Structure 1
Amino acid sequence: MQIQQAHPSETATVAAVLNEAAQWIAAEGRPLWSPADIAPERIQKDTDTGNYFIARTNGEVAGVVRLDLEDPYFWPEIESGTSLYVHKLAVRRAWSGHGVPALLLDFARERARSLGRSFVRLDCVADRAPLRALYERHGFLLHSVVHKGERGFARFELAVAPLAT
């Protein structure tokens, strides 16, 4: 599987994966992203700045992830330049069970390492036990739970070993 930065012209591709995931999660009775979170103009902004990455096998899109250099909303106390933040990790249903989330998280760790960042950090709704278990299986440690409005969010972090010199 190859993971490459999404080009601005691939906004529709990223949006399709995010919308498919959002519909599946909502159909399960666990809505996650608001329409504004995955609106085309928001996705375009993030593809324009190079924050989205697409996982493909033989040209077929398997999943996407957004990687941010800062996250003052969920991690306001973290020193700038120390972490890479994972957001909007989504896998197409056809690729469920093929380890795509693990590959995207591995990619995030290696990207953080290449950027000299000491941590990969992410958050999820605190009551999402399967998602929390996925992150923990991948080596992320629970940092804390914060409340934003009426929802609790579990914040996870993964220490990144520096590049060997």
Structure 2
Amino acid sequence: MDSEEPPNVRVACSGDIDEVVRLMHDAAAWMSAKGTPAWDVARIDRTFAETFVLRSELLVASCSDGIVGCCTLSAEDPEFWPDAL
């Protein structure tokens, strides 16, 4: 990513799913190589990403190189915060 070019952040669409899954797999492999595995790669698949896309909770950051980042923005996460809200 060119440091002069600010990323465009937007809600992901179904056409972004494959690229997001690849990005997350790459990030998981990088973290694992650094000795800090954080994600179960087996859980990161099209269905995982599609769940967030369908709820408009997946955001992507993109530039001319394609998608360079992603995150989820959810009102609740019962797996990690079962007592929240």
Q: TM-score, normalised by structure 1?
A: 0.43
Unaligned runs of 5+ residues in structure 2 are 1-6
Match of 2:79 among 58, 73, 81: 73
* SS class of match (1:63): strand
Q: Which has the larger radius of gyration?
A: 1
Hey, what does 1:5 align to over in structure 2? 11
Q: CA deviation at 1:39?
A: 1.9
In structure 1, what is the Cα distance between the partners aligned to 2:31 and 2:63? 24
Q: Which has the higher contact order (CA 8 A, sep 6+)?
A: 2
Identity across matched positions, percent = 25
Give the number of aligned pairs: 79
Q: Letter of the 1:77 partner, please give it.
A: D
1:86-97 maps to which residues of 2 (within 5 A)?
none
CA contact (8 A) 1:36 1:42 kept: no
Match of 1:30 among 27, 36, 41: 36
CA contact (8 A) 2:20 2:67 kept: no
Q: CA deviation at 1:59?
A: 5.5
Give the structure with the larger strand fraction.
Answer: 1
Which 4+ runs in 1 deviate beyond 6 A?
Answer: none
* SS class of match (1:25): helix
Structure 1 vs Structure 2 CA RMSD: 1.7
CA contact (8 A) 2:8 2:62 kept: yes
CA contact (8 A) 1:56 1:62 kept: yes
* SS class of match (1:71): coil
Q: CA deviation at 1:3?
A: 0.2
